[in-house]
Amino acid sequence: MAVPRQYEPAGVDVSGDRFTVEQTGKDGNFRPEYEARDGTGDTLFRTTYQMYEERDAFPFVDEDGEELFTVEAEGAWDVAGDYLLTDSQTDEALVVLDNDFSLLRDTWRVRDADDGTVLATVESGGALRTVARTLLPAGQFLGHRYEIRDADGESAGAIESGFAVFDEYEVTFSDAGRLPRTPLVAGAVVVDAIQGN
């Protein structure tokens, strides 16, 4: 069963089961820049983490700089809270990414923006690795793994990185197209940026 298009921004065609999300550097104001690519290496969208604004925001744009969708914190400087993904073409709120932040384990949920139904969950790997990434002097360079689970709690994919100065994540799905691709691929950017991974 394919996921309803209602959770996919109108200007984006994110299909397939394998994606790459990479922090490509920093802009002139030292804000992290990201790019997401599909399995063939084609760019899907780019963003710069707007962390110096009143609210954390991610304007996702295509290769021509046209805004496709945004992810914005619903509160000011919201490390553990709600981030709303809005389609820039229709101004429709599609999903909410919410975070239960913990030193030992991070859990993010992708929820329907209207009724709060949980569509997917993204959960960090083991507690020791999470603590090491948080507390060790070079911990932010350690690889990391997040498990993607569907609404029933079944494993449906992963978000994984290796050791690197700038993070690069491989996002893979094993759900036969049931989960919303764009919110989860964009969510890898948000998780990395917000938690300073």
| Residue 97: count of CB within 10 angstroms of its CB | 24
- The pLDDT, as a whole number, for residue 142 is 56
Q: Report whether 95 contacts 8 (CB < 8 A).
A: no
DSSP-derived secondary structure letter, 7: G
Confidence tier at 102 by pLDDT (50, 70, 90): low
pLDDT at 116 over 60: yes
Nearest to 34 by CA among 22, 42, 44: 22
Query: What are the helix and strand counts (H, E) for the chain?
Result: 2, 12
Average pLDDT over residues 82-105: 86
Give the residue, 14 or 101, on which the prediction is more confident: 14
User: Of residues 101 and 68, which shows the higher confidence score?
Assistant: 68
**By CB neighbour count within 10 A (0-12 exposed, 13-18 middle, 19+ buried), where does 83 fall?**
buried
Q: How far apart are CA 96 and CA 187, in angstroms?
A: 10
Q: Which two tokens stand for residue 189?
A: 């950017």
Per-domain residue ranges for the chain? 5-194
Quick one: CA dihedral 13, 191, 140, 55, positive or negative? Answer: positive
Alpha helices, H only, 102-195: 127-135, 181-194
Q: Is the pLDDT of residue 184 over 50?
A: yes
Helices (DSSP H) in 57-178: which residue ranges?
A: 127-135
- Has residue 1 got a pLDDT over 50? no
CATH for 5-194, options being 1.10.10.10, 3.90.950.20, 3.30.930.20, 3.20.90.10: 3.20.90.10
> CB count, 10 Å around CB of 22?
20
Using the structure block, give the residue that is written with the tokens 């709600």: 82
b/e for 156-193, b at 16 or more Cβ within 10 A? bbbbbbeeeeebbbbbbbebeeebbbbbbbbbbbbbbb
Residue 192 phi, psi dihedral angles, 5° rounding: -60, -45
pTM as predicted: 0.85
